[in-house]
Structure 1
Amino acid sequence: MSRGRNFLGFLGNFSSRTPLRLFCSSSLTQLQSWEAKLIDLFHSHAPIADLTGMRLRFDGEETVVELPYNNKLDSSPRPGRLLGSTHGGVYCLLADTAGWFASARGREGGWPLTTTLSCHFVKSSKEKDIAARARVVQSSPRQDICEVRIVDKEGLDLAYVTAVFAVAARKG
């Protein structure tokens, strides 16, 4: 299978669309198995992970996408710009990715589709690793709303993001 293709086939047949917070302890093994599949999906099949060096992990209730500093992802140097600062669009890329996996984490039978991404920039990041920390704050049968914080390696907030995902039922 070529990279970046056939995500749905890779995931197998799952029927549960239960949000993460509704899993009981007897479902912990099932949840951990699903999380492992999502991590493998991202690291093995998502071209954006390979291109940028992003890494996905789950930390308690949060979904974390980490990005090592890469000067090729900086804003263009021009007067008034902080040289070596990560481009704001990269913040949005991280937020969308972390939010998507936060939504997918609790929806084995669905496929999240980004409908809205609202980013509020607080501070630029200069030559530092950054990460997106996402969690689902509101869930309904067809939609998840995620809160995402973009932080630097010291945990300083760089941006606050609200991401909304429509959840399409998996066909077949």
Structure 2
Amino acid sequence: MPKEFFDSREFRNALGNFATGVTIITAKGDNGEMVGVTASSFNSVSLDPPLVLWSLDRSSLSLQVIEAASHFCVHILSDSQGDECMAFAKSGGDKFADLECGEGLGGAPLIDGCLARFECRNVVHHDGGDHVIIVGEVERFEVQDGEPLVFFRGKLSNLAPQTGDA
């Protein structure tokens, strides 16, 4: 399709047809500042070594701290964490005010109640147009039972129970 006819809004809506899990990524800066963002761009890259990636908008106020941090933590959200998802999706403010967080590798804040947490060493960043693609090596992880929070067509949801035989 010629670029002059490319509609960015329609493209974004088309991408919204791909259901994804929802994550919160946290990190701690050298000055002690804790940052966190909501991201649905999380993906595994490699099992050996264990690598994951995610991307962040270049205009994000948290980007500079995340790029400079030695570590970050990826939290895969459960279906009961919609409020946390929305809080970390907003720009500015103290996103950690109502949360009790542990401290992970590199000081990255650890949020409880997630389905999984991946503590990652910040390995490399790649240009991704209006986003930065961030790759981390998983150094520690944990998993809990529960149901995932899902993002589909611009809305948060949970998985509907399946009926019948698969």
Which category describes the TM-score, using the shorter chain as reference length?
under 0.3
Larger RCO (alpha carbons 8 Å, 6+ apart) = 2
The answer to which structure has the higher strand fraction is 2
The answer to which structure has the higher helix fraction is 1
Provide TM-score, normalisation by structure 2: 0.26
